[in-house]
Chain A
């Protein structure tokens, strides 16, 4: 679990997707390579509740605030990373 004080530098889109994929893999207990970037995370069992957990991890790592609704609107990894990058850049 990341520490609150971690100062993670702004990632590239690919780095962010990779990191998100690892988090989803850890939460859902699947191998990371099974998680495609264009398939809704819900299909991997990441329910609306677990989105809160992922939000918290994103917030801890990148020092931004993420409303769970961002993940409801961007249901798979690629669009989610796209939505998060500007938030991280603006922190």
Chain B
């Protein structure tokens, strides 16, 4: 059952009742805004001001006063604060600027000044729910904050932030009150948690994990085995360890253990050498080997044997959040490419003016917005339809990283040899091209996410998509400025029970669209694709839903993902609250979605590309981010 939203006045209509004015009140247009293409840059009085920051050195540690006890802003305000702290990336004297980031990368080190800055900012509090004293209230806000970090240095994002969040969601979902408080204290005081799941022999197939935690002669659990390629394993004060707690086969044989490194006898623990990597070179990927290592009695998170269930439920949040954070990497890659293409003269003019360059830049911008729209809707759906979040999380993690990697790759063609030279004109780019790669397989690969969707597909086709009375998502899911119900870890479920309110929103939104709605025809086309998918997926036999399923079956999950992304774009349009948005933007996103799904290979037609190209350059010149938020950035 989709939770009813008190503000979803229309009940079954995703378009709801338009409340023009309630949001627009805070959206006074400021500065020169291109007419029509995008709504006015809202929410902030400082648009048009110079780039944020421009602070020189000496910043490190200067923010320590903002301790976890201070009342600090969340969401947009936190992003603006973080941008201010990071300052101007172009300033060579900035200890967290571009030059410093590149130097740390060359050394395969984390950027120490950046870690100090984030500790001073109190980043850890953003991973801790509010009822435990932290600032995690909304998943989309957490993504916003982390995206600001990824814009500066993806290694900082993954190596200082995301890893702790991945570990923490397990404990927030299944831990005891004492465990939750213990981990909250750790993160609120600037500590780290490592998420120790991975074993090289088993990859994403964590139900085969071999490290054991079995009772010794005295009844205490003892660890034997190893974990490999885990961020911060050596320097994290706390770890969430995924271990086999029952030798039997099945899905009740594993558990998470919440362990403080200091509680483990040093003689029973051996750290492995760091694993060097192609990208994200600064991230400290470690390994650990336990030999007959006793653990404290209260270490198991939740009931023994609950581990697979806890992982499947809690990682829904991180599967949405990680791709959402990584959009910050593409944001900086796009900015770097525009800078490079504008500064480079080819065939007698700036490279950026060549038609092919314009096309690549514009389509990358559209890809970024497409990724953000889908991710944002999924993040908000985790609040409005937590029981279905698992499907949307797998869909986002299967689709978005592929788009991001492809986009950065395309930008590298634009820069030509300049992307390849480590000391080229835009030296950051080669790092971003390397750093984006692990998003393809990190945490959960595209294939493993498709494998998670496949078993849910036949029931969804037979139940969810055929129901004429199923609930859509509440309309506020599609309105990024609107409040959300609290994030409820307890309501995350292993299976979505055949319900798909996002697809339902597509059907109802299309039905409710006015005849002259410029997106009505697109809506009908995507509804037809959904109907065709429902017919094909209903016929999928239950024997073809496992990892050994044929490519055809995996292809069905890609079609499902496409329908969900389309619904996110269309309903964001239909729920726009009367804002003056150019439908060309939504049409461009859907055009790009069609490219990604191999429906066609056409470039964006000029009437869709031109408004986006204008907006891209406007944001570049104004120092605004390229995502839905359009915040000032010094990246």
* A contact set with B: CB distance below 8 Å: 1, 4, 26-27, 29, 40, 42-43, 47-57, 59-60, 65, 67-69, 72-73, 75
Shortest CB distance B299–A (Å) = 22
29 contacts between A and B (CB under 8 A): A1-B538, A4-B462, A4-B463, A4-B466, A40-B249, A42-B250, A43-B249, A47-B546, A48-B250, A49-B454, A49-B547, A50-B455, A50-B545, A52-B459, A52-B495, A53-B455, A55-B459, A55-B495, A56-B498, A56-B542, A59-B459, A65-B497, A67-B493, A67-B497, A68-B494, A69-B309, A73-B252, A75-B250, A75-B252
Say whether, besides A52-B495, A53-B458, A67-B494, A72 and B309 are in contact (CB < 8 Å): yes
List the B side residues contacting A29 at CB < 8 Å: 543
A20: shortest Cβ distance to chain B, in Å?
13
Determine whether the beta carbon of B249 is less than 8 Å from that of A42. yes
Chain A residue at minimum C-beta to C-beta distance from B493: A67
Name A's interface SS: helix
Q: Are A50 and B494 in contact (CB under 8 A)?
A: no
Most chain A C-beta atoms within 10 Å of own C-beta, residue among B309, B459, B541: B459
**Residue of B with least CB distance to A23:** B542
Q: How far is it, in angstroms, between the C-alpha of A18 and the C-alpha of B462 when the chains are bound?
A: 24
Measured between beta carbons, the chain A residues less than 8 angstroms from B466 are 4
Among candidates A27, A43, A69, residue contacting B543 with C-beta atoms closer than 8 Å:
A27
Q: Are B252 and A49 in contact (CB under 8 A)?
A: no
Q: Lowest 10 A-B CB distances belong to which pairs?
A: A53-B542, A52-B455, A56-B459, A72-B251, A42-B249, A48-B251, A49-B546, A42-B250, A49-B455, A72-B252
Query: Would you call B79 an interface residue if the criterion is a C-beta within 8 Å of the partner chain's C-beta atoms?
Result: no
Q: How far is the CA of A53 from the CA of B544 in the complex (A)?
A: 9
Residues of A within 8 A of B459 (CB): 52, 55-56, 59-60
Across-interface contacts of B454 in A (CB, < 8 A): 49
B177 CB contacts on chain A under 8 angstroms: none
- Residue-wise interface mask of B (521-557) relative to A, using a CB-CB cutoff of 8 A (1 in contact, 0 not): 0000000000000000010011101110000000000
Nearest A residue to B252 via CB reads: A72
Asked whether any CB of chain A lies closer than 8 Å to the CB of B375, the reply is: no
What residues of chain A lie closer than 8 Å to B277, measured between beta carbons?
none
**Considering only CB atoms and an 8 Å cut-off, how many residues of chain B contact the other chain?**
29
Which residues of chain A come closer than 8 Å to B308, judged between CB atoms?
48, 72
Evaluate whether A40 and B497 lie within 8 angstroms (CB atoms) in the complex, with A48-B308, A50-B546, A56-B459 already known. Answer: no
Instruction: Quote the shortest CB–CB distance from B174 to chain A (angstroms).
Output: 13
Name B280-315 residues within 8 Å CB distance of A: 308-309
Question: What B residues does A49 contact at CB under 8 A?
Answer: 451, 454-455, 545-547
- Chain A neighbourhood of B538, CB < 8 A: 1
B190 shortest CB reach to chain A, Å: 36
Residue among B252, B493, B545, B547 making CB contact with A53, cutoff 8 Å: B545
Q: How far is the CA of A65 from the CA of B454 in the complex (A)?
A: 18
A40: chain B residues at CB < 8 Å are 248-250
A57 and B540 CA atoms in complex are apart in Å by: 12
Q: Is B261 an interface residue (CB 8 A)?
A: no
A54 touches B248 (CB 8 A): no
Distance in angstroms from B275 CB to nearest chain A CB is 29
How many angstroms between the C-alpha atoms of A54 and B250 in the bound complex?
15
Asked whether B456 is an interface residue with its Cβ less than 8 Å from the other chain, the reply is yes
**Contacts A47-B546, A50-B545, A53-B542: A68 and B248 contacting too (C-beta < 8 A)?**
no
How far is B494's CA from A60's CA once the two chains are assembled, in angstroms?
18
Residues of B458-486 whose CB lies within 8 A of A: 458-459, 462-463, 466
B545 closest partner in A (C-beta) = A53
